[in-house]
Amino acid sequence: MKTDSIFYQLFQQFPGIFFELIGQPPSTGDAYEFKSVEVKQTAFRIDGVFLPAEDLPDQPIYFVEVQFQRDTRFYQRFFGETFLYLSQYEQSNDWRGVVLFKTRSQDPGVKPQYRELLTSPRIRRIYLNELGEAAEQSLGVGVVKLIVETRKKAIDTARQLLNKAGQEIADATLRKQIIELIETIVLYKLPKMTRQELEAMFGFSELKQTRIYQEAVEEGEMKAKLESVPRLLAMGLTVEQVAHGLGLTEEQVRQAFSSEQTSD
């Protein structure tokens, strides 16, 4: 999964985390929807925009860009897309721009053409590897920081975030969503991690709630069903009876039997 996809999932599920990043109460996110928007005449999409509810004209629109590669033309593109959107959608809301850089070295720096914008409160530049104390105090900001942690530190950081989630989030559904998001980030950073390693890191009770564990359980159940097919057929049951009893298709039953015969 690409980094920008993780951020899209993060801000879409937990918009309050974005507002924590820019120093506002997480509850501000309740009034916003994070989405991608199309600039029709030029046929391109702006991937990250926080749009306030229609009945909140005093709340600004936030244009959000995640930039993990150095691009000397980044600000030309960012401001170009922003002003094209503003010219096409005649909303009365004010606007703000927020750029999330992995490190300060990826920021191409203040360009003379955009100096007034970049040095004004209208634009916020955040360097994720410099979040520091904010990432330690806030679960949401800590999850964002996990995305840019080194692989060496990622496991310890993820474990700390899991403990924090267990202590701070009473709502079971919300806690499950946060755990799955942490799992997604860990798998993105450590794609070769085994299920046993994940279980050791997450703890069995937490791991049971996650997508990867549930998929593994389903995979194990399917394997057990398929392994039982030859024995049931040998007992005289028909393909149709076995399929109905195990919740399989008849084709799956035939394939399982054929594989057993081949291996013999």
Task: Calculate mean pLDDT across residues 224-235.
Answer: 78
Q: Which domain holds residue 47?
A: 3-148
Task: Calculate mean pLDDT across residues 219-237.
Answer: 74
> Is the confidence at residue 217, as pLDDT, over 60?
no
| 136 and 217 both lie in a single domain | no
β-pair partners for 63: 49, 97
Higher pLDDT, 34 or 258: 34
Give me the pLDDT at residue 204, please: 42
| 10 and 141 both lie in a single domain | yes
Binned at pLDDT 50, 70 and 90, residue 1 comes out as very low
| 242 and 130 both lie in a single domain | no
> Final residue of a domain: which of 95, 129, 148?
148
Query: For residue 162, is it within any domain?
Result: no
Query: For residue 98, is it within any domain?
Result: yes
Query: For residue 192, is it within any domain?
Result: no
> Final residue of a domain: which of 148, 175, 202?
148
| 226 and 129 both lie in a single domain | no
Higher pLDDT, 142 or 222: 142
Query: For residue 78, is it within any domain?
Result: yes
Query: For residue 167, is it within any domain?
Result: no
Query: For residue 163, is it within any domain?
Result: no
- Buried b / exposed e along 104-133 (16+ C-beta atoms within 10 A): eeebeeeeeeeeebbeeeebeeebbeebee
93-111: pLDDT as tens digits: 999 999 999 999 999 998 8
Return the beta strands (E) in the chain as ranges.
32-39, 44-52, 61-67, 95-101, 123-127
Query: For residue 202, is it within any domain?
Result: no
> Final residue of a domain: which of 97, 127, 148?
148
| 137 and 248 both lie in a single domain | no
Contacts of 124 (CB under 8 A, 6+ apart): 22, 96, 97, 98, 99
Residue 208, helix vs strand vs coil: coil
Position 21, amino acid: L
34-47: pLDDT as tens digits: 988 877 665 567 77
| 129 and 50 both lie in a single domain | yes
| 142 and 259 both lie in a single domain | no
Rounded CA gap, 206 and 124, in Å?
Answer: 36
DSSP per position, 151-179: HHHHHHHHHHHHHHHHHH---HHHHHHHH
Tally of domains in the chain = 2
CATH code where residue 240 lies = 1.10.10
**Beta-carbon count within 10 A of 226 CB:** 18
Give me the pLDDT at residue 19, please: 95
Query: For residue 191, is it within any domain?
Result: no
